Copies of this chain bind each other. A is one copy, B any other.
Amino acid sequence: MQPQSRRITIVDVARHAQVSTTAVSKVLRNAYGTSPTMRAKVQASIAELGYRPHAGARAMRGQTYTVGVLVPDLRNPFFPDILDGVDDQLRDTDYQVLLGPSHCNGERAEARVIDAMIDRGMDGVVLIAPVVPRPHLERIARMVPTVVVGRHGRSTAYDTVADDDTAGAALIVDHLAGLGHRHIAHIEHHETNPIRLAEMPNAIRAEGYRAAMQAHGLDPDIVSTSYTRDGGYLGAQQLLARSRLPTAIFAGADVVAMGVLEALTEAGLSVPGDISVAGYDNTAFAALGPISLTSVDQAGRHIGGTAARLLLDRIADRERPTAQVKLSPTLVVRHSTAAPPA
């Protein structure tokens, strides 16, 4: 088990192919000024020696061919959909995706992960529903090409891709009201920061819910917890503690609905017999037979694909004006919603 031999470098390849290191570098980046003959020679040597470019060294001068994706919560089954979309776009490029997990969803932790990605020379980053303050986002975007997913608000520094959460919330409320529900509660991710209130999807969904309820002449009823399973569980428990139960619960995310179903099951209530439940994101979980959750589909894969494409565009041209892509969600009706009990 001898200590591994030194890594093969561009110099080794150059020597083997009998050309200069510059020539090898040019071939690698398929830059201008390489004859087919030379290209072939170099590529043969690369293959024979098993050369692999050293990203660290590359980072010092040019690109690393790496893009980082900030994932706020690995337990939320919506995010893999987005990542699939990113992967679709990047699979056939030289770029490699690395994920920055920020499970403990604090602002500090998130900022730390983003900084770490920048320090590691990522050519660009996709930030999924980041919670750091707006100016911080702008600062990041000035350092590295950035696409922000699922957070509204126009910036001149970064592109955004988001779902029309106002419309999505309305889809649910319209559906439930159409079934005859008058008392529809909403469980949201708690938010006080004024900027995030205007930008984060959770806040927009809550606001959309409120507007839609009023449009139907109904009273909004919001419980604030978090977009996690536990948040859903706690939120539902708060509702269950009431003297008068709602006849339907609109959970701000499928993962929240998981917790809601948990609490309702525990309380011995049947869905949708006693109470209807709707989610948001149309994750694989919602589609699951025993669950069969009515949900709003925001086409995560498409969102991810769009984000990746925008990012590649921006890496290619950092001066291009920023884009704001807004996608329209659709309603997927399943068995967790029905007319309220008589």
**Chain A residues engaging chain B, CB cutoff 8 angstroms:** 1, 3-4, 52-60, 64, 66, 68, 71, 74-75, 77, 79-80, 83-84, 87, 96-101, 103-104, 112-113, 115-121, 142-143, 156-157, 229, 258, 261-266, 271, 284-285, 288-292
Contact = CB atoms under 8 A, between A and B. Distances in A.
B1 A121 contact: no
Contacts of A292: 265
B119 A53 contact: yes
B101 A97 contact: yes
B55 A59 contact: yes
17 contacts: A3-B142, A54-B60, A55-B59, A56-B56, A56-B58, A66-B116, A66-B120, A68-B98, A74-B74, A87-B101, A87-B103, A96-B112, A99-B101, A261-B290, A262-B288, A262-B289, A266-B289
A119 to B, nearest CB: 5
Contacts of A143: 4
A120 B64 CA distance: 8
B120 A1 contact: no
Nearest to A54: B119
A75 B284 contact: yes
